Amino acid sequence: MGRFDGRVVVVTGGARGIGFGTATRFAEEGASVAILDLDETAASEAAGRLPLVDGARAAGIGADVSNGASVEAAVSRVVEELGGIHVLVNNAGITRDNLLFKMSEDDWDLVMGVHLKGVFLMTKAAQKHFVEQKYGKIVNISSVSALGNRGQANYSAAKMGVQGLTRTLGIELGPFGINANAVAPGFIATEMTDATAARLKMDVEEFRALSAEANPVKRVGFPEDIAAAVAFLASDEASYITGQTLYVDGGAKLG
């Protein structure tokens, strides 16, 4: 018996990277999983690769988490196609890095829109169902960059915003049987960090090796590392934990 048998889990930005790793973990543990991503074809293709357990189903749904109408339509489709919603993982993300003096207003708005407004919109749409059924788990993906990172004024502000939002969700939704927590990853090997390597004109392997050297456990993280923490926080074992942010970073920010 899996920890998520009979549950419906939504993972935003689930077509690849941390989101796909997380969707895979929930599927392995018995959940039906909806992958939401910008591109419906990519979302459906990823949903088709999930290792579903008997009786579980998957859906791939195109949605832009920064757009209210798109989010409302996507959450309605999840409930219609998979029969409900019990866990929401707010993972979709983008970067538009630049030093402050070169950062455009558009790059600020885009990053805030996906990371911060996206979590607000998705959570607002899902909580209606959660409150009605007196059950729900929300796990938001923050970042070690919330603590400050050169070239990421927009991203770090959004990711610290996610932590504040998570605490407030914990306070407001706790009485309705809903837990809200965040996971703050350190360096995770995905297309997002590969793109950072390219921007810095570094070889991907060299960039990963440098990042591994910068933390006490001397390795980079993988989507599975984040998936394990998300699954724990979304499980009933974690029902006395809410409003928290768990850093999963190999100890990178210990000092």
Shortest Å, Cβ 21 to ligand NAP: 8
Residues 80-109 that bind ligand NAP (CB under 6 A): 91-94
Alpha helices in the chain, H assignment, sequence order = 17-28, 40-48, 68-82, 105-111, 118-133, 153-173, 191-199, 204-213, 223-233
x/- contact string, 191-230, with ligand NAP (CB under 6 A)? xxx-------------------------------------
What is the distance between the alpha carbons of residues 191 and 170, in angstroms, rounded to a whole number?
Answer: 31
38 binds ligand NAP (CB under 6 A): yes
CB 19 within 8 A of CB 70: no
135 labelled catalytic: no
62 binds ligand NAP (CB under 6 A): no
185 binds ligand NAP (CB under 6 A): yes
Measure CA of the first residue to CA of the last residue in the chain; give whole Å: 41
**Residues 6+ away with beta carbon under 8 Å from 93:** 13, 114, 115, 141, 192
Residues 63-82 that bind ligand NAP (CB under 6 A): 63-66
19 binds ligand NAP (CB under 6 A): yes
Token reading at 105: 């207003």
143 binds ligand NAP (CB under 6 A): yes
Taking Cα atoms as reference points, which of 179, 162, 141 lies closest to residue 18?
A: 141
Q: Which residues bind ligand NAP (CB under 6 A)?
A: 12-13, 15-19, 37-39, 63-66, 91-94, 114, 141, 143, 185, 187-188, 190-193
Catalytic residue set: 155
